[in-house]
Amino acid sequence: MALTSEEVAWVERITRERYASAPRAGSLNEAEETLLINDIEEWQRIYNSYVRLKGGSDGIDFDNERKRSAIFYRVRQLLGYPFLLYDLAGEVLELVEIELGQNFG
């Protein structure tokens, strides 16, 4: 069973990479595709949910961003993409020039 075009689009959104460039694209076995589809469905379910709840020391700790991060790493590993930090993936880092020795007085 192959991924549908919609599922491929979701994989690209999750991984932030083109599916066709995945080292294992098209070579997943049925069990791996099932795991991938389950992760896609979970990602879709929490896609626009940014709820974060944290209870006391024994309370609940619910964070959909942590779920998205876990799915990101699982899917990337399953498809053979190189390791990439979730928090920095797709972000543009700006260098800030600091002039030392000026305006300190």
- pLDDT (tens place) for every residue of the chain, 105 residues total: 789 999 999 999 999 999 999 999 989 999 999 999 999 999 999 998 877 777 777 778 788 888 999 999 999 999 999 998 888 644 444 555 555 555 555
DSSP readout, 49-87? ---EEE-STTS-EEEHHHHHHHHHHHHHHHHTPPP--TT
Query: Does some domain include residue 67?
Result: yes
Query: Does some domain include residue 87?
Result: no
Query: Does some domain include residue 93?
Result: no
Query: Does some domain include residue 17?
Result: yes
- Which domain range does residue 13 map to? 5-79
Looking at the structure of the chain, the number of domains it has is: 1
Query: Does some domain include residue 30?
Result: yes
pTM metric for this prediction:
0.76
Query: Does some domain include residue 57?
Result: yes
What single-letter DSSP state applies at residue 91? P
Query: Does some domain include residue 38?
Result: yes
